[in-house]
Chains A and B, each alone.
Chain A
Amino acid sequence: MGKKSSATRKTRVRAHPRRVTQSQKNPSGVTVVDEHSRRLPGTYLDEKEIYKIANGYSLKKVPYPSSNSLDRPDENKYNDLIGMWTDYFNSLFAIKPPLDPDMIKALIGSESDFKTNPKNPIAIGIAQITKETHRIVQDPKGEVKDFIFTKISQKDLKNPDIAIPVAIRWLAHKKSLAEKKLGRTANHEDIILEYKGLLKSKTLYKGNAFERYREFYGKLKK
């Protein structure tokens, strides 16, 4: 993943007054906002920005995932979102080799069978993003601080419009983690194993756990 300097993508905002509703605590109706850093546009996405990008994205050269049958009711419902957001992050991070939209689609199928809210108290939505990942992708000091999401609630992750870009951004990070662990370019299976936490896991059932992804990917590439 191509890294962009986060140092040049933040600015300091000096302490400044801000009007607030008059209250007992603040009878003057003015408060002072302390000096703080602000992320510049292009280093984060909130819900509004996600929709703005999705609605204005040129779909002409977007590589879509295959529409081959996976025998699931909603299997092709998210092809546009998958293609568009894969292309967006491939360009933004200059990912080489680029993330494959078929890989993303097979991953989503293997995580949720394309159901937007599979029952799981720990992981949420179509891409089964965990509560921990939800926290990390929004942490301005965390492992994906170069490009984060902001003001995305856990409930928002039940919406594929939001969950799909979050999952692809997280997968781009997982690609770089897999490459660090392996010391070579990660192939699609390495990336998915890392996403599922199985790349270096010593579980006896790794093969079985990975079977569904392989099956979907194989059908999409037919």
Chain B
Amino acid sequence: MLLKGIENFMENLKSKIFLVASFLLITDCISQKKFEIEKIQTNPDYDDLHVVITQSDRIIQECLFLDAEAENKWRHQYSMYILNEKNEVIPVTYSIHLEKSVCLEHSKEVEKILKNTTEVTLCLREKFKKDPDSLEKQNFGKLGQHQIKYKYLTFDSICSAKKCYGVSDTWTTTCPGFKR
């Protein structure tokens, strides 16, 4: 009798766990946004601000070597590329040039956030403008190779549900909710 009770209880528990897991999976799929961008209104003297919500696999990063002359050989530019819902690439850059190790350190901090979550929120700066002259393509692995279609935006911050990383103290303003 007792054994049968336990068996019934276990069966119930299994089906409940299955139901909960299915529910979580479904809600997770529904709530995950491929790409969403919202412009934040600020003082007209300041940069335009944009909050982007996207899946973390739609973001890739690199440190570009600028190959300058003479004593300027250290210059690298941190770049991030975001794939929007139309499979157009939005390029994002760090506001100043960095030495390679500093650029890689920055990239590593962003990577930590991208690896530990499926959805991220970014605060980006500057005007969101199409770049009709760009021919450059970026490879997003299993999501394919896609063309850059916009002018560079400037990196401010990136957040997962648990953690934020950014350089928002560089500016007098930042996106609402982003740590300073």
Contact = CB atoms under 8 A, between A and B. Distances in A.
Interface residues of B, number: 31
A71 B47 contact: yes
A71 B74 contact: no
Interface residues of A, number: 35
B75 interface: yes
A72 B172 contact: yes
B27 interface: no
A73 B171 contact: yes
B38 interface: no
Contacts of B45: 68-69, 71
Interface centre among A122, A130, A211 (most CB of B within 10 A): A122
A121 to B, nearest CB: 6
B102 A71 contact: no
B125 to A, nearest CB: 8
Contact of A73 (B67, B77, B172): B172
A14 B95 CA distance: 54
A212 B47 contact: no
Contacts of A201: 66-69
B74 A120 contact: yes
Nearest to B106: A119
A122 to B, nearest CB: 4
Nearest to A112: B96
Contacts of A11: none
A209 B101 CA distance: 18
B66 A203 contact: yes
A123 interface: yes
Contacts of A118: 96
Consensus secondary structure, chain B interface: loop
Contact of A212 (B46, B66, B96): B96
A199 interface: yes
A69 B98 CA distance: 24
Contacts of A119: 98, 102
Nearest to A110: B96
Interface string B31-48: 000000000000001110
A120 B96 CA distance: 11
B149 to A, nearest CB: 16
A211 B102 contact: no
B71 A71 contact: no
A16 B168 CA distance: 59
B73 A197 contact: yes
Contacts of A152: none
B66 to A, nearest CB: 5
Interface string A181-222: 000000000000000111111110110110110000000000
Contacts of A115: 170
Contacts of B93: 208, 211
Contacts of A128: 97
B71 A121 contact: no
A199 B69 CA distance: 8
B75 A133 contact: no
Contacts of A35: none
22 contacts: A69-B46, A73-B169, A110-B96, A111-B97, A112-B96, A113-B170, A119-B98, A120-B99, A120-B102, A122-B99, A130-B71, A196-B68, A197-B69, A197-B73, A197-B75, A198-B72, A201-B66, A202-B67, A203-B68, A205-B64, A209-B97, A212-B96
CB-based closest 5 A-B pairs: A197-B72, A197-B68, A132-B71, A197-B69, A69-B45
